[in-house]
Amino acid sequence: MTDSRLPTYFISHGGGPWPYMTGEFRRNFDVLDKSLLDMRAELGGTPKAVLVVSGHWEEEGLAISSGAKPGMIYDYNGFPEYLYHITYNAPGSPELAKRVRQLLRASGIEAALDPTRGYDHGTFSVMKPLYPDEDIPVVQLSLDTGYDPALHIKVGRALAPLREEGIVIIGSGLSYHNLSAMRGTGGYEPSRRFDAWLQETLIHSPSEKRTERLTEWERAPAARAAHPREDHLLPLMVVVGAAEDEPGAVTYHQKDFAGGLTASSFRFGRPPSATRSDGDAK
Q: CATH number, domain at 180?
A: 3.40.830.10
Per DSSP, 228 falls in state S
> Residue 1: inside a domain, yes or no?
no
> Residue 2: inside a domain, yes or no?
no
Task: Pick the closest to residue 124 from 23, 11, 261 (CA basis).
Answer: 11
**CA distance readout (Å), 151 to 5, 102, 122, 123, 201:** 23, 17, 21, 22, 19
pTM comes to 0.95
> Residue 125: inside a domain, yes or no?
yes
> Residue 92: inside a domain, yes or no?
yes
Domains in the chain, number: 1
- Cα gap 274→272, rounded to integer Å: 5
> Residue 193: inside a domain, yes or no?
yes
Write the DSSP string, 89-118.
-----HHHHHHHHHHHHHTT--EEEETT--
Q: Answer with the residue of higher pLDDT: 185 or 167.
A: 167
Domain that holds residue 263: 8-281
> Residue 141: inside a domain, yes or no?
yes
| 194-252 tens-digit pLDDT | 999 999 999 999 999 999 999 999 999 999 999 999 999 999 999 999 999 999 999 99
> Residue 3: inside a domain, yes or no?
no
> Residue 251: inside a domain, yes or no?
yes
pLDDT-based confidence at residue 281 (cuts at 50, 70, 90): very low
